């Protein structure tokens, strides 16, 4: 089945550690996105990529990094510079503009 | 700049009654509008979209939405709500480019 796979679903991290969240899609979509979800704040865009080897900062990119070496993959690294990393992270992809986004099941990161 | 407002944090209805979830938007240029639903600890599921054409859009699970350009609104409706419709609903807007902006979300509770 085509879709978006995020892993891990739950992740615990100690303060000061970097962590990488995986996102893989087999929908053959060019565009991929990372959103952060906090209660009562909706979804906020972290990074997005329109094509392989290219990505742009979203509204809250500080403390995060991404790469897009393959069309299918768009991993997100939450660095120790992110001051409040505990959140639910959602990866998405979309076909050509202006199609809808398709979402993965999310990764919940908790910093201890 | 583009933005979405969902004026109600919560909507409560009885099963069998009509359900309306409100959304207003602000964009430069033509808007592309979307509704998504989210169940606890899950990703977002696409319900429907307005790109162009008929102002009344029909989507999944019996939902529909009406695009009103003069009021810059895109309210989600369902004629007869089910208990299983209880979830978090997000409205989103896209203008030119790949960025999709989301509202803060509306929690819908349908009581039996």
Contact B98 A94 (CB under 8 A): yes
Rounded CA Rg of chain A? 13
**Which portions of chain B are predicted below pLDDT 70?**
none
> What's the mean pLDDT in A64-87?
95
Least confident range from A23-32, A56-65, A75-84, A93-102: namely A93-102
Distance from CA of B2 to the nearest CA of A (A): 12
Contact B45 A41 (CB under 8 A): no
- Tell me the β-bridge partners of B3: B26
Q: What is the pLDDT of residue A94?
A: 92
Q: What is the pLDDT of residue B29?
A: 85
Interface test with B, best of A32, A98, A105, A108 (most B CBs within 10 A): A98
CA distances from B3 to A12, A16, A86, B28, B102 (A): 33, 34, 25, 10, 7
- For residues A74 and A56, the answer to whether their CB atoms sit within 8 Å is no
Contact B94 A98 (CB under 8 A): yes
Q: What is the pLDDT of residue B28?
A: 86
- Please write the tens of the pLDDT for every residue from A5-61: 999 999 999 988 999 999 999 999 999 999 999 987 889 999 999 999 999 999 999
Q: What is the pLDDT of residue A75?
A: 98
The residue that leads in pLDDT, A96 or A108, is A108
Q: Helix or strand or coil: residue B60?
A: helix
Contact B42 A106 (CB under 8 A): yes
């Amino acid at each position: 089945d085509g879709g978006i796979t995020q892993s891990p679903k739950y992740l615990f991290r100690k303060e000061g550690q970097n962590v990488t969240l995986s996102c893989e899609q087999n929908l053959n979509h060019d565009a991929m996105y990372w959103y952060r979800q906090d209660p009562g704040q909706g979804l906020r865009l972290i990074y997005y990529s329109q094509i392989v080897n290219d990505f742009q900062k979203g509204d809250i990119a500080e403390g995060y990094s991404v790469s897009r070496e393959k069309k299918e993959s768009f991993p997100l690294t939450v660095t120790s510079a992110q001051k409040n990393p505990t959140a639910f992270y959602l990866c998405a992809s979309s076909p050509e503009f202006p199609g809808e986004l398709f979402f993965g099941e999310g990764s919940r990161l908790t910093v201890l | 700049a583009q933005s979405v407002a969902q004026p109600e944090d919560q909507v409560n209805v009885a099963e069998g009654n009509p359900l309306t979830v409100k959304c207003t938007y602000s964009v430069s240029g033509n808007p592309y509008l979307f509704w998504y639903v989210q169940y606890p600890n899950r990703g977002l599921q696409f319900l429907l979209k307005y790109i162009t054409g008929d102002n009344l859009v029909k989507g999944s699970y019996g939902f529909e939405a009406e695009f009103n350009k003069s009021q810059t609104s895109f309210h989600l409706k369902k004629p007869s709500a089910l208990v299983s419709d209880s979830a978090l609903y997000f409205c989103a807007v896209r203008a030119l480019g790949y960025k999709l902006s989301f509202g803060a979300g509306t929690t819908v509770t349908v009581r039996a």
